[in-house]
Amino acid sequence: MLQKKFNNCAKKKLAMRAYNFTLIEEKWQSIWQKQQETIPHEPSHYARKYYVLNMFPYPSGSGLHIGHYTGYVASDIIARYYKHKGYHVMNPMGFDSFGLPAEQYAIQTGQHPAITTEKNISKYKRQFRQMGLDFDWDRQINTSEPTYYKWTQWIFLQLFNAWYNNTTQKAEPIETLLQAFTSNGNHTVEAACDEDTPLFSAQEWNAFTASEQQAKLLHYRLAYLKYSMVNWCETLGTVLANEEVKNGFSEIGGYPVTRKKMKQWSLRMTAYAERLLEDLSSLDWPLPTKEMQRNWIGRSEGAEITFNVQGASNQTIKVFTTRPETIFGACFIALAPEHPFTSFIANTTGDTLLIDYIHKARNQSDRNRLAAPTSLSGMFLSAYAIHPFTGARLPIWVADYVLPNYGTAAIMGVPAHSRQDYLFAQSFKLPSLPVIKSDNPLESEPYEGTEGKLINASFLNGLSVPMAFASIIQELVRKKIGKYKINYKVRDPIFSRQRYWGEPFPIYYKEDGLPYALSEDQLPLVLPEVSSYQPNKSGEPPLSNALNWTTPEGYPLELTTMPGWAGSSWYFLRYMDAYNANDLVSKAEEEYWSPVDCYIGGAEHATAHLLYARFWTKVLYDLGHIRRKEPFDKLFHQGMILNLSALAYRIKDKNEFVSFHLKESYDVVGIHVPIKFVYNHILDIEALKKWRPEFADATFILEDGKYICGSKMEKMSKSKHNVVNQERVIAQYGADALRLYLMFLGPLEESKPWDLAGIEGCSRFLHKVWRFVHYAQDSWTTTECINAKEITKTMHQTIQKVTEAIQRYSFNTAISSLMICLNKLSAHKKVEKSIVENFILLLEPFAPYIATELWESIGKEEVIKTFPFPDWDKDSLVETNYAYPVAINGKIRTKIIFDCPTPDTIIERAVLMDAVIQKWLSGKTVKKVIIIPRKMINIVT
């Protein structure tokens, strides 16, 4: 065999050619950086383009880790493959560089976040290059650069100066709305607007002052100011998005978060709810992600019904229900703690228990409030609503399972036909009245189905559920006490943060206190220097610490900044035309590069980033700035790399930690601590105290003199402090081995636990490749090739398998095919140069360093990454013979080779005459011989 002969006869010669991955990788990193190719500005010589995109990272101080690289390596393989196939490939990289960690560091040290960010980006780029990732650095973008966020601010102005026309189902310039108001007022305008938008005639509109008109327009703008319930973190001094809050504490730092009403910028994404839902069907996305977006958007059809409050002639409560046909089964009204009537009762009565309940309920996350307990909490408000059909009194309760952001923040409780209403009624011994006949006993479970006839329902009796639904809607409209309504769970996202390190709003305020837009020629509005990165003494955001933060005319500028997701909602467009100073993206570049052919990123972004990016794309499309209404036609989620994490348990509202086996006696919050501080579950307390200032004065309740941590197998993440540094792995095994191992762990879309021991096999494979190529090269002039046809067949089989595996992102099977191929080729004394070339080309997307070095070593002068990928020859794949497994009564006894095709009669005769088979058949009578072509042969006795 080739490898055995090499080992026995050529050790001395090949010792000079040992595989030194460190030297090879350093060599090619230097060469590639110097020879970094730019994307051609005239791509006419390319037949096709391919735009592969990664979800770009936030450049944290700790740098990249093993868990980050799965998607990056996968996209690099795809990009390299399509370059080999002659495509004009764009594989860009940039940085989502506005973020909370850099600002927290600035608060602690006084160092400007831009300095920290620049250092971190340099570190990331070095780590990317270390892994051999062939990104197009000439298209790099950083969201915190003024040349970039100028266009983020520009997009905000497009939102501010637009409204959504429900008639045309698209966003339109605000000027068209002004024209409608001037001519006809707003009585006939079909627009997405605030619920409390006042009606006015053209005469009234034209009589309004400029300030009054500006105030009215805020009800319609796609970017608008309003009071909203927000997640407020006092320690961090900012509003947090729902996904940044875990169990009432900030994801960063674990600080307490409360619910608070504040005036915030919001974006009218709800106007696009139906389009966001409908257009999902056209996308080649993972089905679970599409379903998550559907659930997040949460379309539901039902009715809005008005209930009068007993004893209050002007007081009404509107409820939204998806089951209006069950109205005769309504037994109570439940309000969200945030509902205005709840606050009215609390303020009127001064009931301290009620006030305390409302406060606690409001500070719970929606997720906790919707958890599925066996009972639900609430309080009776000592008030009643009047049933609009029966006149019955329905008690009004406040209940935390009713959310403020869905429907009207009020529901009619129908315990017989809603599980949550049933649990609530059971908890407080409220009555229940079934109105749909079913075989379900009320005592066990409510009947939530839609099969059956209406009972106990007055004029609805005997109707099917669908017929009753239609009938009750008609009656509600006739009596003017309700209407058919489509509701969506999705809310308008809050778009402002009380922080420094973010995009400044291009907004100023006049004496009337209303917001006005800067002109586009005033962009970018650059972040100013500030004396402190913390809020001022009055509690105003950090931008209040800037000198002369005003327009040239002296008007004050907006003090809040945009959220972290602003710059990431459109970055895929800027890559197409990264340095265009005059346009967001030129028409020509956008037309050429759109759409993104493959977008790779984590499934954790399914509802936030991906939804926001789709929303912004649709707005820009409506306003004529881009030609496509969806940003990403194809989406692929790489699986997570898992690792053990360590948990310490902090007593709520204290800086005291309880050991694992004692935590049940306390009210605690689990906090992730660095896994490097934990050995055999025992925490190094002194190391933790030195790690961060907030732990310096912490106290610990120990067991047997030790602090025992909890553990959990979860996503490798900096926030969970369970990461593995890739630089140590690369130093030991090389970047190519790490790339191969990350892809070989399993299917790309599945999550995999990290185990360093597994990389040994990939390392041995690369060493074997190195020896094989060098020995094959030596044999080209000394040995005659004997089995050329068999070798060619092996190679073309591998080309087919690797190509097809890359196209379906099955990289683990592609690598397996390469390993099998290498074993087969190594068994031959001589392998032709063309075969070796093809093998190196197949390897290059996966292990570019060793492939490029070997390509050079066999005398190839062409650049390997643009050299044509090998194509398989179908004729070479034709099987000329087949080794049939031969079984007797189902047990395989031998293999016999037959030419393809061979008649069954000849096969049967030859099998029965085979010496091995005759031995096993001795003394037995053959009943029949079953031949499955190119599968197996079974002899039945």
In tens, the pLDDT along 774-798 reads 988 877 765 566 677 888 989 999 9
**CA–CA separation, 534 vs 543, rounded Å?**
9
Average pLDDT over residues 717-740: 93
Q: Which two tokens stand for residue 112?
A: 């400007």
Q: Return the pLDDT at 60.
A: 87
Asked if CATH classification 1.10.10.10 holds for the domain at 45-142+576-637, the reply, yes or no, is no
Q: Return the pLDDT at 372.
A: 54
Least confident of 193-202, 431-440, 643-652: 431-440
**CA–CA separation, 593 vs 100, rounded Å?**
32
* pLDDT band, residue 6 (cuts 50/70/90): very low
Q: Return the pLDDT at 539.
A: 78
CATH architecture of 727-876: Orthogonal Bundle (1.10)
Q: Return the pLDDT at 373.
A: 63
Q: Return the pLDDT at 364.
A: 78
Q: Return the pLDDT at 15.
A: 42
Q: Which two tokens stand for residue 249?
A: 């504490």
Strand boundaries in 568-666, DSSP class E: 598-601, 635-637, 641-651, 656-658
Rounded to 5°, the CA angle 673-676-678 comes to: 70
Q: Return the pLDDT at 375.
A: 65
Average pLDDT over residues 269-282: 97
Contacts of 25 (CB under 8 A, 6+ apart): 130, 132, 730, 734, 735, 736, 849
Residue 370 pLDDT > 90, yes or no?
Answer: no
Residue type, 576: M
Residue type, 244: E
Rounded to 5°, the CA angle 404-409-411 comes to: 140
718 marked ligand binding residue: yes
Average pLDDT over residues 901-906: 90
Residue 621 backbone dihedrals phi, psi, to 5 degrees: -65, -45
Q: Return the pLDDT at 472.
A: 97
Q: What share of the chain is helix, strand, coil (3-state, %, to 5)?
A: 40, 20, 40
**CA–CA separation, 336 vs 241, rounded Å?**
20
DSSP, residue by residue, 134-200: --BGGG--BTTSHHHHHHHHHHHHHHHTEEEETTTTEEEEHHHHHHHHHHHTTTT--B---TTPPP-
Instruction: List, for residues 444-483, the tens digit of each pLDDT value.
Output: 689 999 999 999 999 999 999 999 999 999 999 999 999 9
Q: Return the pLDDT at 781.
A: 61
Place of tokens 């683990």: 812
Burial 171-180 (b: 16+ CB within 10 A, else e): bbebeebeeb
Q: Which two tokens stand for residue 60?
A: 């944290």
Q: Return the pLDDT at 594.
A: 93
Helix (H) or strand (E) holding 774: helix 759-779
Instruction: List, for residues 96-105, the tens digit of each pLDDT value.
Output: 999 888 888 8
Average pLDDT over residues 32-47: 63
Residue 204 pLDDT > 80, yes or no?
Answer: yes
Residue 773 pLDDT > 90, yes or no?
Answer: yes
Q: How far apart are the first and last CA of the chain?
A: 41
Q: Return the pLDDT at 482.
A: 96
Contact between 273 and 356 (Cβ < 8 Å) = no
Task: Reply yes or no: is the peptide bond before residue 595 cis, omega within 30 of 0.
Answer: yes
Contact between 830 and 785 (Cβ < 8 Å) = yes
* pLDDT band, residue 5 (cuts 50/70/90): very low
**CA–CA separation, 262 vs 598, rounded Å?**
40
Strand order across the beta sheet in which 891-899 lies: 891-899, 881-888, 936-940, 928-932
**CA–CA separation, 406 vs 422, rounded Å?**
19
Residue 227 pLDDT > 90, yes or no?
Answer: no
Instruction: List, for residues 43-97, the tens digit of each pLDDT value.
Output: 555 679 999 999 999 998 888 999 999 999 999 999 999 999 999 999 999 999 9
* pLDDT band, residue 1 (cuts 50/70/90): very low
Burial 3-12 (b: 16+ CB within 10 A, else e): beebeeebee
Task: Reply yes or no: is the peptide bond before residue 524 cis, omega within 30 of 0.
Answer: yes
Average pLDDT over residues 256-281: 92
**CA–CA separation, 142 vs 99, rounded Å?**
12
Task: Reply yes or no: is the peptide bond before residue 431 cis, omega within 30 of 0.
Answer: no
Helix (H) or strand (E) holding 819: helix 811-825
Q: Return the pLDDT at 9.
A: 44
Cα Rg, the chain, nearest whole Å? 34
Higher pLDDT residue, 621 or 535?
621
Please state whether beta strands 245-246 and 238-240 pair in parallel, antiparallel, or not at all (unpaired): unpaired
Q: Return the pLDDT at 551.
A: 97
Q: Return the pLDDT at 13.
A: 46
Asked if CATH classification 3.10.20.30 holds for the domain at 879-940, the reply, yes or no, is no
Report how far apart, in Å, the C-alpha atoms of 662 and of each of 700, 701, 706 are: 11, 8, 12
Contact between 700 and 659 (Cβ < 8 Å) = yes
Residue 318 backbone dihedrals phi, psi, to 5 degrees: -95, 130
Higher pLDDT residue, 911 or 369?
911
Q: Return the pLDDT at 236.
A: 76
Contact between 196 and 218 (Cβ < 8 Å) = no
**CA–CA separation, 268 vs 159, rounded Å?**
9
Determine the length of the chain: 941
Asked if CATH classification 2.170.220.10 holds for the domain at 153-292+493-562, the reply, yes or no, is yes
Residue 339 pLDDT > 70, yes or no?
Answer: yes
Contact between 735 and 130 (Cβ < 8 Å) = yes
Q: Return the pLDDT at 57.
A: 93
Mean pLDDT over each residue of the chain, to the nearest integer: 91
Q: Crossing angle for the helix pair 146-160 and 609-622, nearest 10 degrees?
A: 70
Rounded to 5°, the CA angle 841-846-848 comes to: 65
Q: Return the pLDDT at 231.
A: 80
Q: Return the pLDDT at 14.
A: 41
Domain map (residue ranges) of the chain? 45-142+576-637, 153-292+493-562, 299-488, 641-715, 727-876, 879-940
* pLDDT band, residue 374 (cuts 50/70/90): low
Average pLDDT over residues 920-935: 90
Q: Return the pLDDT at 782.
A: 57
In the chain, what percentage of residues exceed pLDDT 90?
A: 77
* pLDDT band, residue 883 (cuts 50/70/90): confident
DSSP, residue by residue, 641-676: EEEEEEEEEEETTSSEEE-GGGGGGS-EEEEEE-GG
Q: Return the pLDDT at 10.
A: 42
CATH topology of domain 299-488: Isoleucyl-tRNA Synthetase; domain 2 (3.90.740)
Contact between 490 and 471 (Cβ < 8 Å) = no
Residue type, 531: S
